Amino acid sequence: MPNYLSPGIYVEEVSTGTKPIGMVGTSIPAFLGVAPLKNKYVNQAIACNNWGEFCKHFVNEESKSTHLAQAVFSFFNNHGSRCYIVNVGENGSIAGDVKKRSGLFALETIDEVAIVAAPGYSDAISYEALLSHCEKLQDRIAILDAPESVSDTNALKVLKTVSGSDPSETKPATDVKIESAASQGLRPRNSDEGYGAFYFPWFRGLDALQPSSGSIVNIPPSGAIAGIYARTDATRGVHKAPANEQVRGALGLTYNVSREEHGELNRKGVNVIRMFPDGIRVWGARTLAAEASEWRYIPVRRTFNMIKESIQEGTRWTVFEPNDMMTWKSVERDIRAFLMRVWRDGALLGATPEQAFFVKCDAETNPPEVRDAGQLIAEIGIAPVKPAEFIVFRIGQWTSETESATSAGA
């Protein structure tokens, strides 16, 4: 409180109390793998805003293409605008070391990252590392590549394990048959809350480092898929499924999935890339959650990620504020205003805001024992929109004579 000693007019700036919550970014990925310059910026998270910047950091005239380079080019080619690169080096692991902050651990402090991918990595250890990373941080989703060569799509429906993969590892004789069958699986494990999405097959396109040569190479889909996430976010919003979108730069597929095969793969959470008369399109929008799970759709998981992080960032001002009715009302007002914007953008289902969401922060959610523990609790409920995955038109025969006869009889 200022001291007023001399008579006169005093003008003071005061806070209006309104602290708008902004939407956090949802389309910035981080790619891990081996760069063309294998020993450059190893295990450092390097931001790149275009293909030229990637080449400046990780490519020279003698460089040969890698899965990481192909995926990054595909990302920018599909409307991606910014990404992080972690070059794990020639003999490095994407799982990394927590003490050295290598691999995925190099990304834990970068809140800007909303997507992670390791182009071309399709082993069980890499799948587990990517999914565990996202499940731990709960603000990003993993895009997982299927293996480059798949001869039997049934293997994509069976869990991939490390059992029997190490010849030097000794096993009991009774376990050999079981492990041998399990090791044939190619699917990542489930992520119960939908923090991963699995894509098949790879596509074929020009070598990004030698486009003039006309060389055609197999390209892991994760880079293009991350670009499609960014494209859809920019044009429609994070609530729109990143599917039924063309894969730019794709000239063919390493495996053409039939309609019958697709039905079974879709049930197992395998997002298929298919060839149609008008181009190659992403034809799936499922996470690795169970088929009956409320988290089975990618846009639902990503919408919740965006809302959670936006509220977390936008309400940081409340820490150490008085835990009283004025603060409760401010929190409720700010979150309600934010969710109103989300609803108007079409991300929440409901004809009215009351049908789409609720926010409650009052004495009921903050009784004395909660306040004594230093906690402020707000309860929030939202109704996310879900993609129309199966479009059904019921068509039957009809003739005007039949209709006329029915009317006359009545």
For 51-61, write each residue's pLDDT tens digit. Answer: 999 999 999 98
Beta-bridge partners for 159: 187
For position 278, what pLDDT does the model report?
Answer: 94
Residue 340, classified by CB atoms within 10 Å of its CB into exposed (0-12), middle (13-18) or buried (19+), is middle
298-316 per-residue burial string, b: 16 or more CB within 10 A, e: under 16: bbbbbbbbbbebbbeebbe
Residues in the chain: 410
* Segments making up each domain of the chain, as ranges: 29-300
Residue whose C-alpha is closest to residue 310's, from 18, 110, 24? 24
For position 213, what pLDDT does the model report?
Answer: 84
Residue whose C-alpha is closest to residue 89's, from 39, 36, 31? 39
177 versus 126: the higher-pLDDT residue is 126
For position 127, what pLDDT does the model report?
Answer: 98
Distance CA(300)–CA(389), nearest Å, equals: 13
Asked whether residue 237 carries a pLDDT value surpassing 50, the answer given is yes
Distance CA(71)–CA(228), nearest Å, equals: 12
Distance CA(26)–CA(173), nearest Å, equals: 49
Domain 29-300: state its class. alpha beta
DSSP 203: E
Q: Residue 62 carries which side chain, given as an amino acid letter? A: E
For position 410, what pLDDT does the model report?
Answer: 54
Return the percentage of the chain with pLDDT > 90, whole number. 82
Q: Evaluate whether 299 touches 208 at the Cβ level (below 8 Å).
A: no
Tokens of 23: 């939407």
Q: Could you give phi then psi for residue 31, rounded to 5 degrees?
A: -110, 135
- The three-point CA angle 33-38-43 to 5° equals 55
